[in-house]
């Protein structure tokens, strides 16, 4: 909608976020006043110990107008001004690369350097491996460790699914039928809750 947003932040001595200031180009508008009040409320929350992660989780993907393409080096499209603000804060202060469209920081490994150098850890030679029958206590310990590994693998698998879902729903609309977040499926969007397809003609 041609809206210009100025986002400034105040930090503590350790570099953590302490307050934010949101200013809009249009002087005296209702939206500008509401965004100023919103920034003050977020700042008070941060100063009283609410983690930035909580605000990011609550406000990213908030959907209202103006929305669409933005002129930012890392974020190219947003669903609202609030969505944009918290994508920027998540990227700058939390290192959340899953909420931006273009990466530019060398510490996140997108420079392309060193990709052709891979080292492998050697496994021991078979002659140095000795197999012994485990005692009852060792067998119980091994069974418990196996259960822990299975639980960790299941949790890691769930984290991978959640990460993939976050990457796929950055521009997804809410379902027309149930209001649940949809996921892109080709040129359409499909609701994972009720199965409704949207955007297909």
Kindly report, residue by residue over 159-175, the tens digit of the pLDDT.
555 555 555 555 677 77
Write the pLDDT tens digit of every residue in 34-63.
888 999 999 999 999 999 999 999 899 888
- What is the structure's pLDDT at 97? 85
Q: Which residues of the chain have pLDDT under 50?
A: 108-135
Does 30 reside within a domain? Answer: yes
Q: Of 65, 82, 105, which residue constitutes the final position of a domain?
A: 105
Contact 41, 71 (CB under 8 A): no
66 Rama class: left (phi>0) / alpha (psi -120 to 50) / beta: beta
Does 24 reside within a domain? Answer: yes
Q: Of 57, 77, 105, which residue constitutes the final position of a domain?
A: 105
One domain, residues 101 and 172: no
Does 160 reside within a domain? Answer: no
One domain, residues 180 and 98: no
Number of domains making up the chain: 2
- What is the structure's pLDDT at 69? 85
Does 143 reside within a domain? Answer: no
Does 111 reside within a domain? Answer: no
Does 97 reside within a domain? Answer: yes
- What is the structure's pLDDT at 39? 92
Does 118 reside within a domain? Answer: no
- What is the structure's pLDDT at 128? 36
User: For residue 195, what are the domain limits?
Assistant: 167-201
- What is the structure's pLDDT at 164? 56
Q: How far apart are the C-alpha atoms of 165 and 24, rounded to whole Å?
A: 32
* 132 preceded by a cis bond (ω within 30 of 0): no
Q: Of 105, 121, 155, which residue constitutes the final position of a domain?
A: 105
Q: pTM for the whole thing? A: 0.53
Q: Rounded to a whole number, what is the distance in angstroms from the first to the last CA of the chain? A: 27
């Amino acid at each position: 909608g041609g809206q210009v947003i100025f986002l400034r932040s105040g930090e503590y001595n350790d570099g953590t976020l302490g307050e934010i200031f949101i200013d809009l180009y249009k002087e005296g508008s209702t939206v500008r006043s509401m965004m100023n009040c919103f920034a003050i409320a977020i700042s008070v929350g941060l100063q009283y110990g609410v983690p930035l992660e909580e605000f990011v989780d609550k406000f990213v993907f908030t959907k209202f107008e103006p929305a669409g393409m933005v002129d930012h080096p890392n974020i190219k499209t947003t669903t609202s001004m609030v969505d944009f603000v918290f994508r920027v804060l998540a990227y700058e202060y939390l290192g959340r690369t899953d909420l931006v469209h273009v990466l530019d920081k060398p510490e996140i490994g997108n420079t392309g350097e060193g990709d052709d150098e891979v080292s492998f850890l050697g496994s021991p030679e078979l002659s140095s491996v000795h197999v012994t029958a485990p005692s009852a206590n060792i067998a119980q310990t091994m069974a418990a460790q196996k259960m822990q590994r299975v639980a960790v693998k299941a949790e890691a698998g769930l984290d991978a699914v959640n990460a993939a879902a976050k990457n796929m729903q950055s521009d997804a609309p809410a379902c027309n039928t149930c209001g649940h977040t949809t996921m892109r499926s080709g040129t359409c969007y499909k609701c994972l809750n009720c199965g409704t397809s949207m955007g297909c003609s």
